Amino acid sequence: MLSAARLQARKRLAARSYATSASLFPGQPQSPSVKTSSVPGPAGIAASERIGKFQDPRAHALVVDYKQSKGNYIVDADGNELLDVFAQIASIAVGYNNPQLIELAKTDAFATAAMARPALGSFPGTDWAGIIETGLLKVKPSGLDQLTTMQCGSSANEGAMKAAFLAYSNRRRGGKEFTTEELESTMDNAAPGTPALSVLSLKGGFHGRMLGSLSTTRSKAIHKIDVPAFDWPAAPFPELKYPLDTFAAENKATEEASLKAVEDTIVAWKNKAPVAALIVEPIQSEGGDRHASPEFFRKLQQVLKKHDVFFIVDEVQTGFGATGTFWAHEKWNLPEPADFVTFSKKAQASGFYHKISTRPKAAYQQYNTWLGDPIRALQAREMIRIIEEKDLVAHTQRVGGYVYESLEALQKEKVAEGKLINLRGKGEGTYIAFDLPTSAQRDAFVKAMKLEGVNVGGCGNQSVRLRPMLIFEQVHADIFLAATKKVLGSL
Amino acid sequence: MLSAARLQARKRLAARSYATSASLFPGQPQSPSVKTSSVPGPAGIAASERIGKFQDPRAHALVVDYKQSKGNYIVDADGNELLDVFAQIASIAVGYNNPQLIELAKTDAFATAAMARPALGSFPGTDWAGIIETGLLKVKPSGLDQLTTMQCGSSANEGAMKAAFLAYSNRRRGGKEFTTEELESTMDNAAPGTPALSVLSLKGGFHGRMLGSLSTTRSKAIHKIDVPAFDWPAAPFPELKYPLDTFAAENKATEEASLKAVEDTIVAWKNKAPVAALIVEPIQSEGGDRHASPEFFRKLQQVLKKHDVFFIVDEVQTGFGATGTFWAHEKWNLPEPADFVTFSKKAQASGFYHKISTRPKAAYQQYNTWLGDPIRALQAREMIRIIEEKDLVAHTQRVGGYVYESLEALQKEKVAEGKLINLRGKGEGTYIAFDLPTSAQRDAFVKAMKLEGVNVGGCGNQSVRLRPMLIFEQVHADIFLAATKKVLGSL
């Protein structure tokens, strides 16, 4: 018989090997398999051309056989099996064809919800409260017990902006009724009913593609050019230098400069278009995986509070566990809750959490036909269960640490010297990024990685961002690291 | 043995009775059943309060047991069975728990598509082209062979607006490359990269809730108040008087006045914020079911062409067969195609059709993470099959004619005199509406109809709009008509 101490040791060992072998998703491929001499191969190129007859195909990376894709592995039209470290732009949490999710999809409740999509604001289902209480409310950010569901990331962010505008105006009006002048002027998009208010965003931020959210997006010109925008302000995001400890003084200075610019902007716009809200991502993703310190965000909240500006934390890309905490902004240890936290992507459901104090004054102010989607709420609930059962948030922090340390070691090797630079994302789970010296080299890296059987995404001008699923394990990390080393050597 | 002639006669008879008895959806209730003394009853009120703890419940009409709802009948939390003539704000086409759709929902393809939602712009599925070619492209509006899928009605409309802005600017630039000045200025939301362009809409129109689409929405103050908007123009929509033939001269005059205002506005804004596109609904729905003649829309197109303004037809509420043609604007007989036709709601899929000439100059200009949803495209395809198999568009035109004629007769009866007024929607399938003398009476009517077992919706200030499903039959019309007569008598 084993002693208690030995049993404990065995359990520890089991727990460790659980984290280091591909046991979180049985049945997925053991390794990538590339069959064609280019990726995409001929079948992928043909499939893309066929779509191109009716839809813009120029951003196609791969045409995917989703039926064959499994776990961390995506299978393309040519039958190539690639380790997917991009995961539908950070939107798949627990693996392709996850059996628990497929089982959910086959239930009567899911089928009815899919085919009788309700107008949730007026005709919610008898099961709606239960789905939310046992799902999305279980993971509500601290202090935010209200949830407004939406259709996508853009509408989640714009919904939060609208909520901020409504609350800002209601506060300015002292909670009084709308005046006749306000009710009439708003029909002409004119003041006072339609107020000149603004949302402040930070340069490099990405908050969506609709006309309001796009006005706060400051990622790349190609996202914005030729589309009218609100004349809203932007302030610089800190420009941290890596490694962080080498540049501690510079980094503190850039954060202070950013905070000062935020406050100066708020003050400067008070008589033009007062800033009702600031929106910021915990990690600027599309803009190049740019980080700032928890202290920066705590100070940012103080500046906003001082000027009565609402704080919108855009967790569309960072939420749902992949940064090693369920919400990335948990790591800031804010002394009090943010006002709005938005989500989409990995959650599959979309929307924003808020406080009861920002519920609009009147019905129908925050409203649309669908106001979300019950099947996405069901899916989010099931994923939350899986994340809890398998302890995937802690797992992601562990694996992310392994990837970070491995890349840190790699960048000191000769093969990566001067090529793998600005490594960042320490302590942010698997949300790790690095730069290559030029945009062209980054593009070449992403392309060559596919031939090595790894689907990875770029961001910013010259960055590579890792966005694996929560079921990404050490064995996958090793495959990714070996491919990275090989491709860097060939560049 | 029956002769060939007799067989033919039997088939004709069968076809006729098929259209007049409730045979389009077997197994649905025969008639409404109201068990509580108020609708919603105690269970519905309690369910609404429970949701109200985390979400705004003030626009709740009913909390619905979707599992029990079937065909044209919605079952509420109290077990009341109501004939649904509102259908999730015109968003259910072929009945609650339609067996063909439920069967689709249970397929492997649907489950995988639901649980591995792709980033369609970069990683479309190998089945995507086929789903669209055999589905949404089969019903494409004449002349528009390009399809951009989106997430909801607001994003469909804003997507079309963006496409119009991009095409307008590209044309103005003569197809040349973006300049450095444009690429830099757009990062500050400033000209020339961010141009001052506008979308012209018509008063009373409703085109969505996001910040761009809301700027074109001119339905009600409560939809717009306190939310910043683009300073975009609006022109009057014709104010037709009913019955149409009594007011032929006045109606022609109001349409001419509207056309003149449109042209004057376009000219007036040329040096301010040129009008890149006009957006209009074939029937202004949220704004009160307001119609204009086909001739008006043909002339409108000529005005737009003259000034190089793109023509966006917003079929979010009117599309997918319920107006007696697949697209409501087919009845206009436009000499050439509109530029953009948007859809959502009944289609469940959302997006816009357009021409190849308005595909953006560069990749990633019209892009977002999901760019639609394969399960909604699968659902749309199956509904298109059902609509074709059961000839539901022609059916809707027939049933709509019956409802219209019956209401026309009813309004001449003493019970409806001065109460059921401004009947409209002749020849528009089941998209029929009427007014009550006051907003309060309209609200009382809608409420009392629920107690009679009929769920009906309002719009505008004092209008009742019919938005039944495509499987609404004469037997359902008779139930609706009897309830209407009874309720009018009690008002």
Question: Under an 8 A CB cutoff, do B62 and A92 touch?
Answer: no
Closest CA to B93 of B386, B375, B464: B386
- Quickly state the pLDDT bin for A219 (edges 50, 70, 90): very high
Q: Would you call A230 a catalytic residue per the annotation?
A: no
A106 in a structural domain: no
| Residue A369 contacts residue A119 (beta carbons within 8 Å) | yes
Burial A144-154 (b: 16+ CB within 10 A, else e): bebbbbbbbbb
Which chain A residues touch B221 with a CB distance below 8 Å? 178, 182-184, 186-187, 193
Which chain B residues touch A187 with a CB distance below 8 Å? 203, 218, 221, 224
Q: Would you call A206 a catalytic residue per the annotation?
A: yes
Region A363-382: mean pLDDT is 97
Together in a domain, B79 and B174: no
From B51, B221, B225, residue closest to A129, measured CB to CB: B51
Together in a domain, A342 and A206: yes
Last residue of a domain, one of B309, B337, B372: B372
- Between the two ends of chain A, the Cα-to-Cα distance in Å is 57
Residue B218 DSSP code: -
Q: Which of A107, A194, A246, A369 is catalytic?
A: A369
| Residue A226 contacts residue B170 (beta carbons within 8 Å) | yes
Helix, strand and coil percent figures for chain B, each rounded to 5: 45, 15, 45
Quick count: other Cβ atoms within 10 Å of Cβ A274?
A: 17
Q: Which of B86, B110, B165, B206 is catalytic?
A: B206
Together in a domain, B57 and B179: no
Which chain B residues touch A58 with a CB distance below 8 Å? 362-364
**pLDDT tens across the length of chain B (491 residues):** 445 555 554 444 444 444 445 699 999 999 999 999 999 999 999 999 999 999 999 999 999 999 999 999 999 999 999 999 999 999 999 999 999 999 999 999 999 999 999 999 999 999 999 999 999 999 999 999 999 999 999 999 999 999 999 999 999 999 999 999 999 999 999 999 999 999 999 999 999 999 999 999 999 999 999 999 999 999 999 999 999 999 999 999 999 999 999 999 999 999 999 999 999 999 999 999 999 999 999 999 999 999 999 999 999 999 999 999 999 999 999 999 999 999 999 999 999 999 999 999 999 999 999 999 999 999 999 999 999 999 999 999 999 999 999 999 999 999 999 999 999 999 999 999 999 999 999 999 999 999 999 999 999 999 999 999 999 999 999 999 999 999 999 99
CA distances from residue B404 to B24, B432, B489 in whole angstroms, order as listed: 21, 7, 19
Closest chain B residue to A111, measured at CA: B105
- Which domain CATH number covers A166? 3.40.640.10
Together in a domain, A126 and A227: yes
Distance (Å, whole) CA B48 – CA B45: 5
Together in a domain, A145 and A71: no
Structural domain total, chain A:
2
Distance (Å, whole) CA A181 – CA B386: 50
A384/chain B closest Cα distance in angstroms? 14
- Which domain CATH number covers A54? 3.90.1150.10
Q: Would you call A486 a catalytic residue per the annotation?
A: no
- Quickly state the pLDDT bin for A106 (edges 50, 70, 90): very high
Which chain B residues touch A137 with a CB distance below 8 Å? 54
Closest chain B residue to A58, measured at CA: B363
From B54, B91, B114, residue closest to A369, measured CB to CB: B91
Together in a domain, B243 and B367: yes
Which chain B residues touch A115 with a CB distance below 8 Å? 97-98, 101-102, 104-105, 379
From B111, B151, B187, residue closest to A151, measured CB to CB: B151
Q: Which of B345, B346, B450, B485 is catalytic?
A: B345
Together in a domain, B267 and B413: no
- For B321, the domain range is 118-372
With a threshold of 0.90, tell me whether the complex ipTM lies above it: yes
Q: Which of B65, B314, B339, B373 is catalytic?
A: B314
From B89, B222, B231, residue closest to A119, measured CB to CB: B89
A111 in a structural domain: no
Together in a domain, A343 and A399: no
Together in a domain, B240 and B312: yes
A7/chain B closest Cα distance in angstroms? 39
Together in a domain, A143 and A287: yes
Helix A392-410 vs helix A374-389: crossing angle, to nearest 10: 70
Structure tokens at A36: 């064609």
Together in a domain, B313 and B449: no
Q: Would you call B435 a catalytic residue per the annotation?
A: no
Query: HSE of A66 in the Cβ direction (CA atoms, 13 Å)?
Result: 29
